[in-house]
A and B are shown apart, each in its own frame.
Chain A
Amino acid sequence: MKLLSRFSLLALSAALLFSACGGTDDNTAPDTGRITLNATATYGSLPLVMFDQNYDYEDGMQFQMQLFQTYLSDIELVYMENGAEMTEPLLDVALAEFGDIYTIADAEAGIEVVKTDVPARNYTALRFGVGVSPALNATVPPDYEVTHPLGQNYWEDANSYIFFKFEGNADLDGSGGFQDKLTFHVGGDNNYNSIEFTGAIDIAPDGEAVLNLNFDMEKLLIRSNGDYVDFRQVRQAHSNTAPAAVFMGENMPNALSLTR
């Protein structure tokens, strides 16, 4: 028999618990404001659009994008209370998909990852993971509704979600033909990155903070020491341990920037 709602049940009881607690200290409940987290993607300073743009790469190579998508997990705000660090959870997991972004305007507008009300406070950091957190990565798609972000993108053999995908077509010799296919798929707990951006995120009662998280493909592919994923040598990685996957997994934190 199928456990139809393992997770919905959990969510429900959590919700019940929460509202019950909320009821008891309604009077002292802090006023709320709103937080929005958007995600954008670029190649260096160029907005990342699928198909329509040639991006100059190392050593005369060029490429065009067809897909960039990534999971974000355990997104939370950090604050201090009586000298202790506390967290305000925003969302357990999201899939930021850039595969439908075909225009510069859409690329600049980005994707809304979370928009939610939170207690008004002076928060001190944004924290999240890139990929699927180890706890969630121990679950499998049938645990979720098919419409849930974790309802797909699973590797049975590796027992992992595919944390992020980078796909496109490369011109390896500057000939103008984009015939070489790029499919980098990265997963596995070893490639999960916890990220924290510290800095004041003040949310006044009825106020709103909008944060923008950018993924820079140039920094994902090229390290500050000059090492890069050489498409002439490697054009695909479909495992937790393939060197290109590990390289990109390690680089991911460098590819991120947060603006307010």
Chain B
Amino acid sequence: MIPLYKKIFFFGAFALALGFTACDDEPAGPDGCANCPAEQPITGEYNPTAYSFDYLPDRFPNPIIPPDNPMTEEGIALGRMLFYDPILSRDSTISCASCHLQSLSFTDGAAVSIGIDNREGVRSAMPLVNLAFNPRGFFWDGRSATLEEQALIPIEDHREMDESWDVAEEKLRRHTAYPQYFRKAFGVEYPSEITREHVVKALAQFERTLISYNSRFDKVVWEQQGWPTDLEQEGRDLFFVETALPTQEHPGCSHCHGSSLFTENNFFNNGISDVEGLEAFADKGLGGFNGNIYDNGKFRAPTLRNIALTAPYMHDGRFATLEEVLDSYAQGGHGVPNEDPNIQPFTLTDEQKEAMIAFLNMLTDTAFTNNPAFADPFK
């Protein structure tokens, strides 16, 4: 398939600049401007196929699907194209996939993301995994309530794709191929009916299919296919240990990274920042969004599925390796007042550390990172 963005590069911007602005000054009839040629309806069928989550294992909760954006095969296919197509950025160089790479569980391997014109962002790209199960807001600080809302942001973010939605909409409307896909997915009859709402709905539909449930941990623990190694088992015990005996280490990871999703998507200060007081966090996280000082320095606990693939770690990518992450947790915080009390010091022998990392490596799901349904459709 020919990349759609190549076509738009030669044709779209000009058509846009000449055609539409000229018309804008004319008295507009019901279908647009008086002197414009009448808009042609989009040809083709609108007969969407409902998407089924039947493959989800029993241990997973139900996905959250907004009633006004039901999942369809056509919507997902369109969302996948939009996700990989730089058409949504100002200079057609950046797509969502520039910072969200499938091979890295949809992160980018950088501490902070690099967007358009090599502009540096302020936070680390988040993994796009099991997003359909998050009821508590998207981004590290939870500021977008839904995936639809979230997808509105990167397009206009000056450090990311830096495009205006008005222009992005026009590029899609004037494109040779996209209007047909919008028709298939949403039943639009005329290109002018294509809006940013359709774009974010399609993106969200695609993102809701990005579900990881096939790691070695799933196979061994839930599906009884094979056995964990002794080291993996030791790591698992350390990760989940609840009954803390004085003689037993209690890293307490599962308090915040528990459940079959390895997160309950709650917000915590997990003790990584040594700051003077609650106002002193470089990034206030949840508190910066909701204005509550006790929420300063709290971030959403991410899933640990595919964690071996998503270095560097934390909202600002401050830790390069899982060893560093464990060393930080083992310190038990820095005495900042709103650190979660479940962050407590512990000591691990080298073998125990190795064991915890062996366990975390069990959460890597290559069926997810190699799933052709999630890959670049233009390749």
Contacts and interface: CB of A to CB of B under 8 A. Distances in A.
Co-assembled chains A and B = yes
Interface of A: 1-5, 50-51, 66-67, 102, 141-142, 144-147, 151-158, 167-169, 178-179, 181-183, 185, 236, 238-239, 242
B275 to A, nearest CB: 16
Contacts of B59: 142
Given A50-B294, A102-B292, A142 B60 contact: yes
Interface stretch (B102-110, B238-246, B305-313, B367-375): B238-246
B161 to A, nearest CB: 30
Given A66-B338, A146-B133, A238 B60 contact: no
A238 B56 CA distance: 31
Interface in B321-354: 335, 337-338, 340-344
Contact of B54 (A2, A67, A142): A2
24 contacts: A2-B62, A4-B62, A51-B337, A66-B338, A66-B341, A102-B292, A141-B259, A142-B58, A145-B62, A146-B62, A146-B133, A147-B64, A151-B61, A151-B135, A155-B242, A156-B258, A167-B342, A168-B341, A178-B337, A236-B244, A236-B250, A236-B344, A238-B244, A239-B242
Interface of B: 53-62, 64, 133-135, 240, 242-244, 250, 255, 258-260, 264, 292, 294, 335, 337-338, 340-344
Nearest to B290: A100
A66 B338 CA distance: 8
A209 B286 CA distance: 37
B58 A2 contact: yes
A67 B267 CA distance: 13
Nearest to B338: A51
Given A157-B240, A236-B244, A102 B294 contact: yes
Nearest to B339: A181
Contacts of B343: 181
A126 B131 CA distance: 40
Nearest to A241: B243
Contact of B335 (A1, A156, A179): A179
Closest 6 CB pairs of A and B: A181-B341, A238-B242, A2-B56, A239-B243, A147-B135, A152-B264
Contacts of B54: 1-2
Nearest to A52: B294
Contacts of A147: 64, 135
Contact of B61 (A145, A155, A169): A145
Contacts of A50: 294
B279 to A, nearest CB: 14
A179 B339 CA distance: 10
A4 B242 CA distance: 30
B284 to A, nearest CB: 16
Contacts of B53: 2, 4
B259 A152 contact: yes
A3 B60 CA distance: 10
Given A2-B60, A179-B335, A238-B242, 12 more contacts: A1-B55, A5-B62, A66-B340, A142-B60, A144-B61, A146-B61, A147-B135, A167-B340, A167-B341, A167-B342, A183-B255, A236-B344
